[in-house]
Amino acid sequence: MDDKIITLACKRTIFRSLFDKCAFFGWIDKIPSIIKYEGIYDTLYLSVKSDEIPDEDLRELLALFFRYKIDMKQLQVFLKKQNKKWFHDGKIKGYWYTRVFGKKIK
């Protein structure tokens, strides 16, 4: 496993209510691969322990970023040989595919 810490930026995240904000931070706290987070001005930086994380954690990041409209292109860093079949399969095209990888390459 790679020990390189990955930093993800959540810029200008919009919360619709106090409970929505609490749900967002509660969700972050439940993803084991996120080792810390820090806000600077209008950006929250998530520190992820490696670019090789469990599939469950990657699925949670995908859902979190999709729900809160955070730039998902930065999740490309987690594409690995082990998860390529479900994460980057152009035939399956999960709800995240276009937001992470752009249009399907022919």
Q: Which residues contact 98 (CB under 8 A, 6 or more apart)?
A: none
Residue 67 belongs to some domain of the structure: yes
Residue 56 belongs to some domain of the structure: yes
pLDDT given for residue 1 in this prediction: 46
Q: What is the total count of domains within the chain?
A: 1
Would the CA dihedral through 89, 27, 30, 38 be positive or negative?
positive
Residue 97 belongs to some domain of the structure: yes
Rounded Cα gap, residues 18 and 2, in angstroms: 37
Enter the tokens of residue 86.
Answer: 């479900």
Residue 106 belongs to some domain of the structure: no
Rounded Cα gap, residues 45 and 13, in angstroms: 11
Residue 1 belongs to some domain of the structure: no
Tens-digit pLDDT profile for the chain (106 aa)?
446 899 999 999 999 999 999 999 999 999 999 999 999 999 999 999 999 999 999 999 999 999 999 999 999 999 999 999 999 976 667 899 999 998 765 4
Residue 53 belongs to some domain of the structure: yes
pLDDT given for residue 93 in this prediction: 77
Domain that holds residue 75: 6-101
